[in-house]
Structure 1
Amino acid sequence: MPKPEITTEELTALDRALLDALNPLATALRARETGLPADLMWAGDPADVALSVLSTWKVVDEEVKRLTAIAAQTAGSYGASYERLGAAWGITRQGARKKWPDAVERPAASGAGASGLELFGGTAELFREASSAGWRWTGRGADGTLGGAAAAPALATKEEAAAHAGAFLKEHAAG
């Protein structure tokens, strides 16, 4: 994805929109900091006023970083790779992976398909649920008890599903 080009007019409009959005926040933060009424908000030492604006830009910068991470996560959830995220941001694939480590789901090392588990004389099957991309399990304990977490929310990882299934199998081991 090529880096988007922005015209001088678009940059000027963006600057104006950002300054218009920043002003009420800067005013509110400065009012809380100084205790001055709104009509005297910007009175004072010019360095202090400029520092108030700078600290407000820091708040905006942190919010932009948060929203950027959400956008990367959203793109990753729709199948974008770290290579594509990096290209969109103008950095390498490795840079994108470092910047947004959880944006792209990595395939499980042990495979993404269903797998079985045999413990304490019982068996369980772990499977990935397509609708939620989470993991579930069903099992039969050695005592014949059936179990599974069909009604509960899907689990985040295969390992977490295995832990739940293992605890069930231990609880229902042959006497």
Structure 2
Amino acid sequence: MPGPPSVSRSPAETAALVTQAVDELTRRLAHSSVHSPEDLPDAAGDARRGALVRLRILNDVKLAVRRLEDQAAHTAAESGAGYPEIGQAMSISRQGARRRWPGLITSSTSHPSSHPTPRSS
């Protein structure tokens, strides 16, 4: 059965969509985290507090993205991808991918055995 049709987007279009989604998410999370305006001395204090809450949330998003990148890199390697392919997907060099994930590609992940292991009888 064929998979879902692929949607082709440029990197700029993808980045714009992701930016919009993350902005919306951080604004919602920040809004639910900020105290009521009467807790703050003035509007500038409210703006400052809101911006600092958003910064903290954006840092948490960055950490989450990093974990998701690690998971995807491991899945790609387990599926037979090498450092050149992983680097290309991340817009970094093969060496950059190797530095980011040392030991990710091993002989068992980079060259799946096409020869069956002999069994003793």
TM-score range relative to shorter protein: 0.5 to 0.7
CA contact (8 A) 2:30 2:50 kept: no
1:51/1:107 Cα in 2 relative to 1: closer, same or farther (>3 Å)?
A: same
| Counterpart-to-counterpart distance in 2, 1:88 and 1:16 | 22
Q: Does residue 78 of structure 1 match 2:79?
A: yes
The alignment yields a C-alpha RMSD, in angstroms, of: 3.1
| Counterpart-to-counterpart distance in 2, 1:56 and 1:17 | 14
| Counterpart-to-counterpart distance in 1, 2:21 and 2:79 | 30
1:13/1:90 Cα in 2 relative to 1: closer, same or farther (>3 Å)?
A: closer
One-letter amino acid of the counterpart of residue 69, structure 2: T
CA contact (8 A) 1:73 1:102 kept: no
1:83/1:12 Cα in 2 relative to 1: closer, same or farther (>3 Å)?
A: closer
Stretches of structure 1 lacking an aligned partner (at least 5 in a row): 109-129, 131-175
| Counterpart-to-counterpart distance in 1, 2:107 and 2:44 | 57
Q: Which has the higher strand share?
A: 1
Give 1:6-155 correspondences, 5 Å limit.
6-7=11-12, 11-28=15-32, 30-31=33-34, 36-37=35-36, 45=45, 46-104=47-105, 106-107=106-107
**What are the Cα deviations for residues 27-78 of structure 1, in whole angstroms up to 9, with x where unaligned?**
34x34xxxx24x7799661223212111110000000000011011100000
Q: Does residue 5 of structure 1 match 2:6?
A: no
| Counterpart-to-counterpart distance in 1, 2:38 and 2:67 | 33
* Equivalent position of 1:139 in the other structure: none
Q: Percent identity?
A: 29
Stretches of structure 2 lacking an aligned partner (at least 5 in a row): 1-8, 109-116
| Counterpart-to-counterpart distance in 2, 1:19 and 1:76 | 31
Give TM-score, length-normalised by structure 1.
0.46
Give TM-score, length-normalised by structure 2.
0.64
Length, aligned pairs only: 99
Q: Which has the higher helix share?
A: 2
**What are the Cα deviations for residues 75-131 of structure 1, in whole angstroms up to 9, with x where unaligned?**
000000011111111111111011122432x128xxxxxxxxxxxxxxxxxxxxx8x
Quick check: which has more Rg, 1 or 2? 1
1:107/1:50 Cα in 2 relative to 1: closer, same or farther (>3 Å)?
A: same
CA contact (8 A) 1:83 1:92 kept: yes
* Equivalent position of 1:172 in the other structure: none
